[in-house]
Copies of this chain bind each other. A is one copy, B any other.
């Protein structure tokens, strides 16, 4: 990610800048305007989710500052995006209440601990932590739902024994499935079941990178189509639930971590397809305890692809110290070495 340039030189200004960039980094965009628009999209859908997203980003960023994490990483929002997601996830699965805000703060702080842990661990291979800190923290804080009376779960958490032999009815999908599914697929990256919010998110990415915006939409579409071909039921398709993981696979591998060319394009495409299939797999794996896959399908598949590509001479990585927007990376790849 490129060097962060604080909007102002004051500590408060730097903090606000880091928080906005943090939200932007949820979709790999180191840009405060993108982050601001992401927040706007969330607040448009629900002020409760908006407050939790904002609080989560602030707490995770602040925790990193207090503990003395690397200043460049903090300024670039790298300790923010997991907090955004850790914040917005909880009111999505639990009944909103003022006390839940304390739990949001706890989740965001834990996400910062895990972010630092994974930076240390994965740093040996130059592989990023992605949104794993958010998932591992949130799983730790929501798996306990049935043991603690203080947590009031919403309707989305329900345990069941999957039946591998059950014939799932083929999807009866139409144009509306596609339209809603693709837009909501972008929105669901941040738990936003809302067409307009999904569109705002795409616009927000556009502000920073046309390539990334394109891959976000492409990822949502590829994820949905993969699940359609596999004959998933229509409801999750329309909700974008088979799209959001592939959105992240697409943005990450489509010009951000690799130099964009036809070889890396097809590599990214394969990652989006597997991201969609893995969404179903992780959902099944967690069904007996009634817990959500979150963005683990994206993380696990993208880690496989990132660890693997260092062994493949045809897939060219962007050096971490030169990485910028997808457009800047593309320009760099066209320069004579």
Give the number of times this chain occurs in the complex, counting copies.
3
Select the residue from A70, A148, A274, A278 with max chain B CB neighbours within 10 A.
A148
A147–B289 CB distance below 8 A: no
Give the complex CA separation of A46 and B59 in angstroms: 47
Q: Which residues on B sit within 8 Å (CB–CB) of A309?
A: 116
Q: Is residue A9 within 8 Å, beta carbon to beta carbon, of the partner chain?
A: no
Query: 8 Å CB contacts to B: which residues of A140-191?
Result: 140-153, 155, 157-171
Chain B residues lying within 8 Å of A165, measured Cβ to Cβ, are 146, 153, 155, 157-158
Q: Which of B153, B155, B168, B289 contacts A149 (CB 8 A)?
A: B168
Number of chain A interface residues as a range? 35 or more
Interface residue from B67, B106, B305 paired with A312 (Cβ < 8 Å): B67
Do A149 and B67 touch across chains, with their CB atoms under 8 A apart? Answer: no
Complex Cα distance, B113 from A273, in Å, reads: 13
A2 located at the interface, meaning its Cβ lies under 8 Å from any Cβ of chain B in the complex = no
| Interface residues, chain A, with chain B CB atoms under 8 Å away | 66-70, 106, 109-110, 112-121, 124-125, 136, 139-153, 155, 157-171, 227, 229-233, 267, 270, 273-274, 277-278, 280-285, 287-291, 301, 303-315
